[in-house]
Amino acid sequence: MKNLKLLIMLFSISFVAISQEAKDEGFMYKNEIGVDIIDIIDGTLQVSYERALGKNFSFNIGVGYKTEEGLIRLSGIDRPRLKTGDITYHGIKIIPEVRYYISKTQSERLDGFYLGAYLKHNAFQSDFDGIYTDSQDIDYDFLFDTKLKVTSVGFMVGYKLPIGKRFTIDFLIAGPGVVWHDYSMKNKKDLPDEFYDDLNEALENYFESLNIEFRLSQLNERIDFILPSFRYGVSLGYSF
């Protein structure tokens, strides 16, 4: 949370500084609203608002809601003593960005190639449930109320292509960065102690390629780790 507050403060300072320096460049269209096309595939509706703050700078804020639907799904855990269904999640995301347009193709608005920096925060919820069989062959239904907080920060490069007097297609080509994962899991049912040993082993195998160690227990049901991140996207925009 300290990292998130610091990043938000830095973005706020940058936004105020750019706004104070911004001058009216005579743009016909200083505002743009957009819809992320790629995110729709994953069951997310994300809209954005961009405001020109001068000749080359802009500030963009995106807000989205992820449903449990979508073509991209995480398969569940399937082990002899531990089985779950597909892992689904839902929640909100917010993405502030600062952009610098290297060159414009039109004088009415900001377009063309741009560089920028972003902060992305996701707050999701998920029901992690399944069946566990202990060493005495006794079956237990388990259910965890899971909260997922994922915060990333990084740089980006993209190209905004005008396709008409007011419409654009915004290609976010690359957005490398770093992401903080913070997962909390609240147990809703009584479970034997050995369940957590088997769950930790299952999760370590599930995320084997990430080399993450898990230490879940009845007293500490939380996972946090840091990984590299990468953003990309395609948005349809309307200028006004």
Residues 160 and 95: their CA atoms lie apart, in Å, by: 18
Q: What is the pLDDT of residues 106-123, one digit of tens each?
A: 667 788 999 999 999 999
**How many C-beta neighbours within 10 Å does residue 232 have?**
12
Q: Answer left, alpha or beta for residue 91, where phi above 0 means left and psi between -120 and 50 means alpha.
A: left
Q: Quick check: helix, strand or coil at residue 5?
A: helix
pLDDT (0 to 100) of residue 213? 66
What average pLDDT score do residues 121-129 get?
90
pLDDT (0 to 100) of residue 21? 44
Residues 129 and 145: their CA atoms lie apart, in Å, by: 9
Q: Answer left, alpha or beta for residue 31, where phi above 0 means left and psi between -120 and 50 means alpha.
A: beta
Instruction: Tell me how many domains the chain contains.
Output: 1
Q: What is the pLDDT of residues 215-234, one digit of tens each?
A: 777 666 788 888 999 999 99
pLDDT (0 to 100) of residue 157? 97
Q: What is the pLDDT of residues 18-76, one digit of tens each?
A: 444 444 455 678 899 999 998 888 889 999 999 998 888 999 999 999 998 877 777 88
pLDDT at 132 over 90: yes
pLDDT (0 to 100) of residue 101? 95
Q: What is the pLDDT of residues 137-181, one digit of tens each?
A: 999 998 888 899 999 999 999 999 999 889 999 999 999 999 999
pLDDT (0 to 100) of residue 22? 44
Strands (DSSP E) contained in the chain are 31-36, 44-52, 57-66, 82-84, 90-101, 112-133, 139-162, 167-187, 222-239
Q: Quick check: helix, strand or coil at residue 192?
A: coil
State the first-to-last Cα distance of the chain, in angstroms, to the nearest integer. Answer: 36
pLDDT (0 to 100) of residue 50? 97
What's the CATH code of the domain at 78? 2.40.160
Query: Which domain, by its residues, includes 76?
Result: 2-239
Output the average pLDDT for the chain: 84
Query: Could you give the percent of the chain with pLDDT greater than 70?
Result: 82
210: pLDDT confidence band, cut at 50, 70 and 90? Answer: low
